[in-house]
Amino acid sequence: MPQKAAHRPILFRPGVDNMETVTTLKNTPLLSEHVSLAAKMAPFAGWIMPIQYEGIIAETLYTRRAVTCFDICHMGEFIIRGDHKRSNLDKIVSGRIDNLGVGCCRYSSILNEYGGVIDDLIVYRKAIDEWMIVVNAATIEKDKKHFLKHLSGDADLKDISDTIGKIDLQGPLSREILKTVAPGAVGLNYYTFIETDILGEKNIVSRTGYTGELGFELYASVDKIKAVWKKLLSDKRVKPAGLGARDVLRLEMGYSLYGQDIDEETSPLEAGLEKFLDFSKDFIGKKALVEQKKTGLKRNRVFFKTLSRRSPRHNYKIITNGKESGIVTSGSFSPHIECGIGMGFTPSPLPIGQNIVVGDGTLKIEAVTCDKPFVKNTSIKK
């Protein structure tokens, strides 16, 4: 069976940085499709990925207005077989999975013993004792080692990352488009999935996504994924979107990006993700988090929007009352509310409506703290 290509020369468009990494980057099965669409390609998490086609702002706006599809084949997927208790899976994953029904999926994380986030992920329950774990592209090997280290001897883990592709179909019209590719999945509820026919191949479709809109994630073998991509784009209502738009869309919803907003030095409590933890059970990192709750957080998540169209950037300083008080972890221009938006950390919680300044020392941008999501009333649960 063909696999995702890796460690060989690939195509670059002029102007792409990091040319010295050309022989070490991986590419998805859809690379030729992106090149034919004149996508701007760039390195991301060890892969060569499409950043934009028509333009980041245009693709962001079109996703919330209509429907786009994203190449997410770089993500990793593991199949784990074994009882969630006896296999230690319940202890490895920090969120609750014992009550996860077959055909349901849930956002969660795996932590180190200090409570830092090794990765955030989605857990799919395929059967009573069979699970699919979807992990971030940059952490596939690290995550696999962590699972193998802590799974019990009778549990089985299979890494299928190189043999399966993934396309995200996102936007208010995504349900209508899905009828032409996987009609058996049209009736899915939020955070459920089904194994159904996708252009003649049985595979998973889940009603999930990273944009805050109604959407579906389609899995297919590397033999079939290009046909799925072409079929979706054959409908003139569907446009391709790159990782640039995906980043703006997720930030507009206040979703964290691993490696930027969360990492092994950041706890779920600091990141504002406590609701995804299950403190009623034992899990790796729990002891450290319980202690952190007792002593108080040294870093607190803050969301803000600028008072202009200027965009905050990663690693900009947060200044409160004239003093440096934190750091920006993610920032961008939001075309939907027409101003800069961002998230970051400050030592103490900041009240909503607090005036702050963000900048790099020379550039200073006035901003005000706010709640998430930045964009409200989306189609996510319609």
CB 40 within 8 A of CB 99: no
- Classify domain 19-71+162-252 at the CATH topology level: Gyrase A; domain 2 (3.30.1360)
Q: How many CA atoms lie within 13 A of 363 on its CB side?
A: 11
Distance CA 261, CA 335 (A): 21
Q: What share of the chain is helix, strand, coil (3-state, %, to 5)?
A: 20, 35, 45
**pLDDT tens digits, 201-255:** 999 999 999 999 999 999 999 999 999 999 999 999 999 999 999 999 999 999 9
CB 332 within 8 A of CB 288: no
Domain residue ranges of the chain, discontinuous segments joined by +: 19-71+162-252, 299-370
Give pLDDT, residue 23. 62
β-pairing, 47-52 vs 26-27, is parallel
**Percent of the chain beyond pLDDT 90?**
93
Mean pLDDT of 97-115: 98
**Percent of the chain beyond pLDDT 70?**
94
β-pairing, 317-320 vs 105-111, is unpaired
CB 214 within 8 A of CB 382: yes
Q: How far is CA 312 from CA 60, 357, 359, in A?
A: 18, 10, 7
Q: Which residues, 6+ apart, have CB-to-CB distance to 355 below 8 Å?
A: 366, 367, 368
Give pLDDT, residue 22. 54
Mean pLDDT of 275-284: 98
Give pLDDT, residue 4. 56
Q: How far is CA 266 from CA 55, 59, 148, 303, in A?
A: 32, 31, 23, 17
Give pLDDT, residue 13. 42
For residue 332, how far is the Cα from the chain centroid?
A: 16
**Global pTM value:** 0.94
Which pair of structure tokens corresponds to residue 91? 């202890």
Is a pLDDT exceeding 90 seen at residue 3?
Answer: no
Mean pLDDT of 352-379: 96
Which pair of structure tokens corresponds to residue 366? 């006035």
Mean pLDDT of 56-83: 98
Which pair of structure tokens corresponds to residue 268? 């779920």
Give pLDDT, residue 228. 98
**pLDDT tens digits, 19-56:** 444 568 999 999 999 999 999 999 999 999 999 999 99
Calculate Rg over the CA atoms of the chain. Answer: 21
The yes or no reply on domain 299-370 and CATH 2.40.30.110 is yes
Comparing C-alpha atoms, which of 363, 320, 366 is closest to residue 345?
A: 320
Cβ-based neighbour number of residue 362 at 10 Å:
5
**pLDDT tens digits, 319-351:** 999 999 999 999 999 999 999 999 999 999 999
Distance CA 242, CA 308 (A): 25
Which pair of structure tokens corresponds to residue 158? 């299979």
Q: Report residue 31: phi and psi, to 5°.
A: -55, -45
Mean pLDDT of 263-274: 98
Residue 105: band (very low, low, confident or very high) from pLDDT cuts 50, 70, 90: very high
Give pLDDT, residue 357. 98
Distance CA 70, CA 265 (A): 30
Distance CA 68, CA 299 (A): 36
**pLDDT tens digits, 128-167:** 999 999 999 999 999 999 999 999 988 999 999 999 999 9
Write down the mean pLDDT value for the chain. 94
The residues with which 166 forms a beta bridge, in sequence order, are 219
Give pLDDT, residue 154. 86
Comparing C-alpha atoms, which of 73, 7, 31 is closest to residue 222?
A: 73
User: Buried b / exposed e across 133-167, counting CB within 10 Å, b at 16+?
Assistant: bbbbbbbbeebbebbeeebeeebebebebbebbbb
According to DSSP, residue 96 is labeled -
CB 213 within 8 A of CB 170: yes
Comparing C-alpha atoms, which of 212, 172, 217 is closest to residue 196?
A: 217
Give pLDDT, residue 11. 43
CB 256 within 8 A of CB 247: no
